[in-house]
Amino acid sequence: MAWKYLLSSLFIFLIFSDKLSAQADTIRMDMNQLIELAKSESPEILLAEIKFSNRYWNYQSYLADLRPQIRFEGRLPIINRTIEPIILPDGSEDFRSRSFMNNNASISLSQLVPGTGGTVFLSTGLSRIDLFGGSGIGTTTSWLSTPVSLGFNQPLFRYNPWEWAAQIEPLRIEEAERQYSEELEAISYRAVNLFFDAITAQLNLRAATVDAANADTLYQLSQGRYELGRIAETDLLQMELNLRNAEAQIAQSRISLNIAMDRLRDFLGIESEVFFDFLLPEDVPDIMPEPDFALEQAQRHRSRVLSFQRQLLESQSEVDRAKGSTGLDLQISGSVGFSQTSDDFAGAYRDLIDQEQLSVGISFPIADWGKTRARREIARARLELTEMTIRQESINFEREILIKVQQYQQVKEQVELSKKSMEITDKRLEITTNRYLIGKIGTLDLNIALSERESARRAYIQALRSFWQTHYEIRGLTMYDFVERRSLVVSPD
pLDDT of 393-410, one tens digit each? Answer: 999 999 999 999 999 989
Residue spans per domain, the chain: 2-41+165-312+384-487, 68-155+332-363
Q: What pLDDT sits at residue 253?
A: 86
CA dihedral 280, 283, 287, 289 (to 10 degrees): 0
The DSSP symbol for 339 reads E
Output the average pLDDT for the chain.
86
State mean pLDDT over 49-58.
94
Q: What is the pLDDT of residues 310-357, one digit of tens each?
A: 999 999 999 998 887 777 888 999 999 999 999 888 888 998 999 999
pLDDT of res. 134 = 59
- Please report the pLDDT score of residue 294 as a whole number: 93
Mean pLDDT, residues 106-114: 94
Contact 482, 287 (CB under 8 A): yes
User: What is the tens place of the pLDDT at every residue in 349-368?
Assistant: 998 999 999 999 898 888 77
Domain 2-41+165-312+384-487 has CATH 1.10.287.3510: no
**CB–CB of 257/191 below 8 Å?**
no
SS3 readout for 140-183: EEEEEEEEEEEEEEEEECCCCHHHHHHHHHHHHHHHHHHHHHHH
If you average pLDDT over residues 260-268, what whole number do you get? 91
Helices 31-41 and 43-66: angle between axes, nearest 10 degrees: 50
Dump pLDDT digits (tens) for 191-212. Answer: 999 999 999 999 888 888 887 8
Least confident stretch, 76-80, 364-368, 389-393, 443-447 = 443-447
Per cent of the chain over pLDDT 70 is 94
- Give the residue with greater pLDDT, 23 vs 163: 163
Closest CA to 446 of 238, 227, 204, 248: 238
Looking at residue 157, its pLDDT comes to: 84
Residues 6+ apart with CB under 8 A from 238: 443, 447
8 A C-beta contact, residue 413 and residue 284: no
Of 63-72, 85-94, 414-423, which range is least confident? 85-94
Summarize the confidence of residues 414-427 as an average pLDDT: 91
List pLDDT tens digits, range 161-182: 999 999 999 999 999 999 999 9
Highest mean pLDDT range out of 88-97, 310-319, 430-439?
310-319
In terms of Cβ atoms closer than 10 Å to its own Cβ (0-12, 13-18, 19+), residue 195 is: buried
